[in-house]
C-alpha cells in the first residue's frame, strides 16, 4: 500500500495531506502493528479506525477538507 501511495504522490495525483490520509488508511486496512498470527476482532479494527480518525481530525488540513466539502459538495485535494 505504501508503494502505491508513493507512486501516486510522485505522479502528483495525491498531495502531502493525501499521503498522510493514505498512510492512516493503510494502517487501518492492514490491521496496524500486528502479525499474521494475530487474529483481530471487530472491536480491534474499530479502535484502529477511531484512532486514525481522531489523529486526522485534529489537523488543520483535514478540517479544511471537511469545510470545503460541506461548502461546495466537492472534495478538496490538499
The Cα–Cα gap between 38 and 60 comes to: 35
For the entire predicted model, the pTM comes to 0.87
74 CB-contact burial (10 Å; exposed 0-12 / middle 13-18 / buried 19+) = exposed
* 18 C-beta neighbours (distance < 10 Å), count: 17
- And the C-alpha cell for 38? 494475530
Give the pLDDT mean for 68-73: 98
pLDDT digits (tens, 9 = 90+) for 20-56: 999 999 999 999 999 989 999 999 999 999 999 999 9
Instruction: Give the per-residue pLDDT at 3.
Output: 97
Instruction: Give the per-residue pLDDT at 77.
Output: 92
- And the C-alpha cell for 39? 487474529
Torsion-angle region of 35 (φ positive above 0: left; ψ -120 to 50: alpha; else: beta): beta
Instruction: Give the per-residue pLDDT at 8.
Output: 97
> Domain residue spans in the chain?
2-72
Amino acid at each position: 500500500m505504501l508503494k502505491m501511495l508513493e507512486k501516486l504522490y510522485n505522479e502528483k495525483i495525491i498531495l502531502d495531506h493525501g499521503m498522510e490520509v493514505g498512510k492512516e488508511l493503510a494502517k487501518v486496512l492492514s490491521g496496524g502493528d500486528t502479525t499474521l498470527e494475530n487474529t483481530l476482532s471487530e472491536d480491534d479494527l474499530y479502535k484502529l479506525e477511531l484512532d486514525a480518525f481522531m489523529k486526522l481530525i485534529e489537523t488543520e488540513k483535514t478540517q479544511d477538507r471537511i469545510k470545503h466539502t460541506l461548502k461546495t459538495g466537492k472534495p478538496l485535494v490538499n
